[in-house]
Amino acid sequence: MHVDFDQARYRERSLWLEGCASLKPRPTISGDVGCDVAIVGAGFTGLWSAYYLKRLAPDLRVVVLEREIAGFGPSGRNGGWASAGIAASPKVYLRRHGAGSVLRAERETFATVGEIGRVAALESIDCGFVHGGTVTVATTRPQLARLKASVDARRARGFTADDVRLLEASELDERVRVAGALAGAFTPHTARIDPARLVRGLADACERLGVMIFERSEARRIGRGRVECATGAVVRASHVLRTTEAYTTELAGEKRRFLPLYSLMIATEPLSSAIWEEIGWERGETINDQRHLFFYAQRTSDDRIAIGGRGAPYRLGSPIDEVNERNDVVRERLAATVRRHFPAARDAAVTHHWGGPLGVPRDWSMAVCYDVRSGLGWAGGYAGHGVVAANIAGRTLADLLLDRQTDLVSLPWVGHQSRRWEPEPIRFLASRAIVGVLGSADRHEDTTDRPARRVRLVAPFVLPR
Ligand SMILES: Cc1cc2nc3c(=O)[nH]c(=O)nc-3n(C[C@H](O)[C@H](O)[C@H](O)COP(=O)(O)OP(=O)(O)OC[C@H]3O[C@@H](n4cnc5c(N)ncnc54)[C@H](O)[C@@H]3O)c2cc1C
């Protein structure tokens, strides 16, 4: 009975998890285990780390501990954008590492989109991978100014016209008809995926390589050489990796490492071919806009629109809670976005609504860390941009742990330290201000077509540009 209840709960976490063939949990850890590497968290970061470690060193004994099931967290719930672009503010890394290092990091993210597709094909993971790029639209003049500025900024950092370019109105229209779009930009460096099928398939691939995965096995204490589990079992390991992203804030001493901000999504029912003929959107592109609380969308492999956005309120007492995964206001805002921008789909039923917590560091810039002396490592802080970043983090952690002097281990996020968030209630007030001010700025720009200066009020707390 317990298993059936859990499977229903897991299925409800996202459209993607609902579509997985089986969510039957793997065994729970019951006795002490000795291994070379213990990894806590079976999302993309933990599983990519395990995967590359075993590919590079097949004899390594790797154990993964997961509190729920593989892909239970945002890895099984996200927008399915395997998108390039660093999970950070370029400015933050630029100050410390210089322009060349940042461009190298950006180029690594371009290549990683293909790397994810390569492994999916190699391991026969049917995750709907389509390398179709991203179309970004602007629907007001302030959005258009930001769109142009963002293309210019990327070109100034060394991107070419093949990496990102503005789209002529006719070219945009030929790809996808977004009502109200004044202009668009295109980058080819994104693939659309079904994230749950990728992360669950990756867990299976890890097992085939000999990784031991324990599910419903919560780590209570993560320390040098050992992980203590809620069941009382102890995993002894020479190396211990913590890959728990936003959930890290639930661990002792880690509360202020990230701001756990929620991102929420909806999906429509599958749309008819007549509707798709009106919309276009035939090449698997992902689509977003330039609002401050921007939307991100994909056409799913079963012909739905799956669309997400921020804006869910942060709750002081329980920042991470399943109650936060659904919110009527955000659901309606996303449904209205579908109606406004894709009027052909205005009568489509919204069949799914879900969400999950993002791990947002104080400077919005990810880190991959490994301490040779203690054998402890961790990676995360992707702030909602973790699909590609987690693959890079997994490869980098594998190289660091195996002492391989590759290009990856000198990328700017390696060893990066973000300062901690302010204590509550400041972190709470900051998160409320981010959502409140940015939402009101979007409304102002939509109605007046003029830039909202109020965004400066939250500048100290948002991604430094
Ligand atoms: C709605 C939404 C949409 C998003 N869209 C995109 C997108 O389109 N593209 C993109 O790049 N990123 C997106 N993201 C972000 C992306 O999903 C994450 O950055 C990424 O999945 C993080 O992977 P992870 O493995 O580091 O963490 P997670 O997926 O959070 O995995 C951590 C795992 O650790 C487990 N765990 C936690 N605590 C313990 C413990 N004590 N013991 C054992 N196990 C534990 C959890 O159960 C979880 O399975 C989105 C996120 C959300 C919520």
Q: Write the DSSP assignment of 358-413 as a string of letters.
A: EEE-TTS--EEEEETTTTEEEEE--TT-HHHHHHHHHHHHHHHHTT---GGGGSTT
378 vs 417: CA distance, rounded Å? 12
User: Using a 6 Å cutoff on CB, does residue 385 contact ligand 1?
Assistant: yes
- Taking the alpha carbons of 173, 179, 181, 182 in that order, is the dihedral positive or negative? positive
129 vs 206: CA distance, rounded Å? 19
* Share of residues in the chain with pLDDT > 90 (%): 86
Domain chopping of the chain, boundaries = 2-78+195-258+363-410
Let me know: does 162 contact 188? Beta carbons within 8 Å. Answer: yes
- 1 pLDDT tier (thresholds 50, 70, 90): very low
Tell me the mean pLDDT in the region 351-379.
Answer: 97
Let me know: does 51 contact 237? Beta carbons within 8 Å. Answer: no
Tens digit of each residue's pLDDT (9 = 90 or more) over 24-49: 999 999 999 999 999 999 999 999 99
Q: Give the pair of three-digit tokens for residue 339.
A: 């109606």
286 vs 300: CA distance, rounded Å? 10
265 vs 308: CA distance, rounded Å? 4
Average pLDDT, the chain: 94
User: Using a 6 Å cutoff on CB, does residue 46 contact ligand 1?
Assistant: yes
User: Using a 6 Å cutoff on CB, does residue 75 contact ligand 1?
Assistant: yes
Tens digit of each residue's pLDDT (9 = 90 or more) over 222-265: 999 999 999 999 999 999 999 999 999 999 999 999 999 999 99
Taking the CA of residue 243 as reference, the ligand 1 atom at the shortest distance is 26
Q: At what angle do helices 386-401 and 44-56 cross, to 10 degrees?
A: 40
Tens digit of each residue's pLDDT (9 = 90 or more) over 266-296: 999 999 999 999 999 999 999 999 998 899 9
Closest residue by Cα to atom 30, ligand 1, is 73
Q: In this model, does residue 462 exceed pLDDT 90?
A: no
Taking the CA of residue 47 as reference, the ligand 1 atom at the shortest distance is 25
Tell me the mean pLDDT in the region 388-410.
Answer: 98
Let me know: does 286 contact 81? Beta carbons within 8 Å. Answer: yes
Phi, psi of 349 (to 5 degrees): -75, 140
Q: How far apart are the first and last CA of the chain?
A: 51
Taking the CA of residue 14 as reference, the ligand 1 atom at the shortest distance is 1
Percent helix, percent strand, percent coil in the chain, to nearest 5: 40, 20, 40
Tens digit of each residue's pLDDT (9 = 90 or more) over 67-80: 999 999 999 999 99
User: Using a 6 Å cutoff on CB, does residue 263 contact ligand 1?
Assistant: yes
pLDDT computed for residue 465 by the predictor: 66
Name which of 24-38, 189-203, 313-327, 441-455 the model is least confident about: 313-327
Tell me the mean pLDDT in the region 150-178.
Answer: 94
pLDDT computed for residue 460 by the predictor: 77
Which of 307, 264, 291, 313 has the alpha carbon at shortest distance from 443?
Answer: 291
Q: Which residues pair with 196 in a beta bridge?
A: none
**Beta-carbon neighbour count of residue 382 at 10 Å?**
30
Best probe residue, ligand 1, of 220, 241, 321, 387 (max atoms within 8 Å of C-beta)? 387
Distance of CA 39 from the midpoint of ligand 1 (Å): 15
Which of 398, 308, 412, 458 has the alpha carbon at shortest distance from 86?
Answer: 412
Distance of CA 161 from the midpoint of ligand 1 (Å): 32
Q: Give the pair of three-digit tokens for residue 356.
A: 């999950």
DSSP-assigned letters across all residues of 420-451: PPPPTTHHHHHHHHHHHHHHHHHHHHHHH-S-
pLDDT computed for residue 436 by the predictor: 87
pLDDT computed for residue 430 by the predictor: 81
User: Using a 6 Å cutoff on CB, does residue 78 contact ligand 1?
Assistant: yes
Judging by DSSP bridges, how do beta strands 259-268 and 350-360 pair with one another? Answer: antiparallel
DSSP-assigned letters across all residues of 307-351: EEE--PPP-SS-SS-GGGG--HHHHHHHHHHHHHH-GGGTTPPEE
Taking the CA of residue 248 as reference, the ligand 1 atom at the shortest distance is 38
User: Using a 6 Å cutoff on CB, does residue 41 contact ligand 1?
Assistant: yes
Distance of CA 44 from the midpoint of ligand 1 (Å): 7
450 vs 462: CA distance, rounded Å? 21
- Taking the alpha carbons of 101, 103, 105, 111 in that order, is the dihedral positive or negative? negative
User: Using a 6 Å cutoff on CB, does residue 378 contact ligand 1?
Assistant: no
Distance of CA 380 from the midpoint of ligand 1 (Å): 9
pLDDT computed for residue 2 by the predictor: 54
Taking the CA of residue 387 as reference, the ligand 1 atom at the shortest distance is 11
Tell me the mean pLDDT in the region 180-205.
Answer: 97
Let me know: does 45 contact 200? Beta carbons within 8 Å. Answer: no
Best probe residue, ligand 1, of 15, 75, 254 (max atoms within 8 Å of C-beta)? 75
Taking the CA of residue 389 as reference, the ligand 1 atom at the shortest distance is 11
CATH topology of domain 2-78+195-258+363-410: FAD/NAD(P)-binding domain (3.50.50)
Distance of CA 80 from the midpoint of ligand 1 (Å): 12
Tokens 């913590």 belong to which residue? 242
Closest residue by Cα to atom 35, ligand 1, is 41
pLDDT computed for residue 172 by the predictor: 95
* 166-203 burial code (b ≥16 CB/10 A, e <16): bbeeeebeebbbbeebbbbbbbbbbbbbbbbbbbbbbb
Best probe residue, ligand 1, of 81, 109, 231, 247 (max atoms within 8 Å of C-beta)? 247
User: Using a 6 Å cutoff on CB, does residue 355 contact ligand 1?
Assistant: yes
200 vs 385: CA distance, rounded Å? 19
Distance of CA 359 from the midpoint of ligand 1 (Å): 8
User: Using a 6 Å cutoff on CB, does residue 49 contact ligand 1?
Assistant: no
User: Using a 6 Å cutoff on CB, does residue 325 contact ligand 1?
Assistant: no
Taking the CA of residue 380 as reference, the ligand 1 atom at the shortest distance is 26
Tens digit of each residue's pLDDT (9 = 90 or more) over 197-213: 999 999 999 999 999 99
Tokens 């968030």 belong to which residue? 421
Distance of CA 357 from the midpoint of ligand 1 (Å): 7
Distance of CA 186 from the midpoint of ligand 1 (Å): 27
DSSP-assigned letters across all residues of 153-210: HHHHTT--TTT-EEEPHHHHHHHB--TT--EEEEES-EEE--HHHHHHHHHHHHHHTT
pLDDT computed for residue 4 by the predictor: 65
Closest residue by Cα to atom 41, ligand 1, is 219
User: Using a 6 Å cutoff on CB, does residue 245 contact ligand 1?
Assistant: yes
Judging by DSSP bridges, how do beta strands 62-65 and 33-40 pair with one another? Answer: parallel
Q: In this model, does residue 3 exceed pLDDT 60?
A: no
